A and B are shown apart, each in its own frame.
Chain A
């Protein structure tokens, strides 16, 4: 586990010391600060106010007053001569729990119509006693991104052209994204599926100078994915996504070009197009799609999961809105389900606390843990929620909530345009920061992902069906007084002795299901394929080994102990755990866990071998096997696998000897060769499909040849 958090706090403190002087001379707008400072300050009058404009928001920063309880931020519309053209309003209250460093208070003001001009003042309060206002600072806010005279940049969403009176409709979205696609070489819009009512579900694939041509090529760039609108009545993030897509598609600034030169951005504006059009939370059947990402009963979630399988984003954000009026502006939460690899949980926490809290304190946005301050029933361990599903798929990610209601620190604005803009531009800030985080931390992200895949494939440790990791409170001052509920697993939700595999009957695997729209559901076989799990067919059923990257998710859907499972598969425990002396000939189904084979292993035609945590002193050879799974094991000798019919997986093994995969014809299953240390040559030939490493490279002390040359 990496613990970046303490370092980050120190850095942010250093940053705080210099923030004012850095921003004041060059970017503060409005009246010259020097003139302000020469005036005689009243006691406890806030000084040093600066206002820095960004996309859809303005960051106010000021010198703190000793003993202040909180600060009020006031905004008034002004004309070019800074004469007020409308009433001044208190747009927010800064409290110490707002940011991790109190030495340099900041506040992001948003909600105004971008491009308008305002004057801001800040005053401290001691308890509820207001102190004198600072001298005002006026500034013109940034107009919506993109030069109106430059093709492409000039595109605007319906939400923008109506000044947020209307959200962008479905067909307007299609027209807008099609124009972005047509006018930008960087963008390709792909349809990843259809909704229940047959609306296209589009995804923008954005790269520089052009996006990689195939999903597989995109996957090789360690892409990141933003899911913008799963609940149809929570449209704020979606509008941010559409504006962000335009900026990524046409922005000529060095930062955008640099980002897109190093990765691919995947944006799904509307996974729930039917719900968005109807303004319902669920899809057209009433199903809450964010309770379906593991089960994939609905076409929308199935489309997203297939996209994850094919494009393999290494990091993700999932956009929502929420109505809690007492917590922060931007609640976030990592994948907490205890079956998520700890490396993914830790890196997701680092993304939230190490990046979002720090940048939020700099830019004035109040990120905080979802579930803080009265949210005790939310943010839990359901694997049906995308946050947890993504974690169980070894993707670093977070939930994002946009605060939709007023309260003690924000005015109560209802569903007004002002409130809509504040939400959307707070999402825009978060998603932009998400891109920055990915750019700066990709080695850490991919390392966490690699270690997580290796951990999962090793099939070690207990299984938890429901239950979360605690979210520790950030060291004070922290962005939320009370953290989310611990949500530790109940005893009946724990299985200490994990099986080796689940066996499904023909009926369980291929039988008709009634849990989809119109009481028609995809088969378990189709859903397993959508998740991308490996399955081997034996004479007595279908085996789903746990020795694979989504080991944490498999039992939640195939075990009778699961809270929301598809079927009650049969737990298959290892057939061998101890020491075996002499040659081992595998026929039928053999699972070895933590064993030792003192001799060569031969897998017979039609047989299945699963070995984890096992030492084999001798060659391993398989010819015509149904499946070969080897993980977290040591082989002192060559490994030769050929002619396999169903699945091949070698993950995190130490192999002293050449490794050769040849003529394995595994249908839709892609042979996996990831994270192995091979002393000797690695060669792959005539495999269909060609093996992959899922972005987890092998260390090969010898030549790599054929289909494995790049693994």
Chain B
């Protein structure tokens, strides 16, 4: 038993040398987006001041969880404007993660267990961070943060590359963390299921117990990883908005 590979569903012409063909991975992304949009729209279809039912309460709770713990805690007074973006990110990653829990490894896998997807999301978050940073503090202010204030020029030139590497490590860690967690979790789950198929009859129960335990843990990991990615995105945006940085830029 093995995970499904890359399958081209519709061959499309390349754009700037990039193969834009619709693959099974793209379809998984679309499925994740479609499920996220449908479920959230259904959950919030009632426009009444009082929440109705468990379904609406659950998703309202998740939205407010992102609003309280990611937006307001990190982004301060203007947090409300960022909540839709962060909530979209959270729900998209969450559904993308949960696709890996569908017990059909021949057709489904976590949309986020692909490095291209997580790198894409991390680059997108960092593009937003850089845009916000430059828009608020200017290009000069943005570049100044790579040279810590008060250092002699010689040491400053040495420190600057380290700062750049440290700054670039953030989106890399953001992408790799999500990818590695989803990949590893689902790989383990697949191993347990494969063991269950191939094990001797009197040992078949052991991998089954392991697979059930792993599935429960993986469900938890799906939520946690979506939250961590969103939380870190919020923190990076918050860094870009920080007033301290603004004063450094002004100097």
Partners in one complex: no
